[in-house]
Structure 1
Amino acid sequence: MPLSADDIKNLHKYEIRILNALERMMRRYRWVPEDDLRTAVHLSANETKYRVGNLIHLDMVRSDSVPYKGYSLVFKGYDALALSGLTAKKSISALGSMIGVGKESEIYEALGFGVVVLKLHKIGQRSFQTVRTNRDYMPEEGHCPWIFASAKSAAREYEALTALNGKVNVPVPIDINRHVIVMSFIQGVNLNRCQLENPDAVWQEILEQVKIAYSEGYIHGDLSEYNIMYDGAVVWIIDWPQWITPAHQNADAALRHDLETVGAFFTKKYQKTYDIDEALRFVTAVRKEE
């Protein structure tokens, strides 16, 4: 079920304490032993059982009895911790409706200093091994549960948004807590939902944005019509967790793939064909001269 502001607002302080303890202890355990949890939260056995039961009912915690009785956070529990932290800092004051969902994120409207966007990174347990293999920032070995993978993904994107803000048209990063980024709301729609009057001009503007990002040390790494937005005048590039640097061993291939993917969209929808080698020379020219 989608996240509910009421669920978070109505959490008891003991339930918040349990969620925090589970987050902390999941660095050592996939399933936090029941006895260890009770000791960590300093509650009686009956109180712990009651509060954990509430959290399970809210789908914030999951339990298992094999090979021992234990508990772990699920995404809604991690959401509750992150949003409680952002609310305490007054980065957000109210949670709105979900406005988008992807394979690794959920997007909500919220109120902060005006209307803002919340991006909740959610590296699924099913895709975890793929993420570990394909992304440099994930450790190759050791215990790295999905909650920490999601937080790493958010931190990675927040770093790129912070570095590119004011240089490339990206959402303005406002705050981050765990796996949740607060960012500015963009008045526009994804490129795949646009009907462009001048595709050539928009293609050139995309190249200009990619070029600036490249000169700042960032290659998007997953660019497509789904993470480019257009508001009728300005191109915006979103979704940056998979960025790599131009010095990365796969940089040339990643940049080419980004441009080929967007170019293929223009060919399919607008019957426009662009020279990708020429586009690559344009994007990389400044950095190679430096």
Structure 2
Amino acid sequence: MQERSFSFHSPCQIGAGAQQRGIALFVVIVFVMLSMLLALWASRTSIFSEMVVGNDADYQRAYEAAQALLQDAELDIRGQDAGGSPCTPNTSNDKVCRRNPSIDQIPLEGKDVGKLLAELNAANTSVNPTQCNNALCIKREGVQDFWNNADPSRGTTLGQMTGPTSAGGVVGARYGMFTGAQLGTSNPILAETAAGKGGWYWIEVLPYSESSKNAGLIVDASGVSTKNYLALNLLPSVVYRITSVANGRKPGSMVVLQQTYARQKLKD
């Protein structure tokens, strides 16, 4: 007679094995999901960092463009070229050095100040309500942040302050327009010429009262207004307020800089 052996498994043992295999699958799924979440978090962090770096780089380009426009306006006031030498109109562009007599000139003598301001005031019409022509302006007494003064008829926020004038000139000046400075490739914002893009500068002509030079507004340590710490030596008595605006390459990116410049008479 052959002997046969039989083995039996209890239901408890079979259930325990199945339960162990189910837990392992659940743990694997949890780790896969955590890995996916970490990968998504890392990608979002990387994209956010790139956006921050891109926005900062665009702001820096716009800031440098606005600074270059301020310097260009100073050269325009002093009648110098980009290298700081006396501006010589040796090009075919009659705007360089403001050599065209029909272009508003930087006042060199006291009698020229009143004439310029009268001409700018006469240019203030309903077509050109900016009181500016060829980047020279009367002191603004209305809206000071004119770069936010939208003009729907011109289609751009700065349309009123950057478009042409009824006298055939321009309201705001582009980089190198009156100095002949070369744009180059260092900053693409300065090379932008489309409406609403790039940068401009404006020069407000502010007459400086002769009587204010000795008005005792600045005093010495003892409180006696006998010392003149602000020897302006102005000729003519004019202070210029320069405003530059540069639009970045990204939508909504803009830098506005403003400074006051006094052209002093150099001693012989």
Q: What range describes the TM-score normalised by the shorter chain of this pair?
A: under 0.3
Structure with the larger helix share: 1
Structure having greater relative contact order (Cα 8 Å, sep ≥ 6): 2
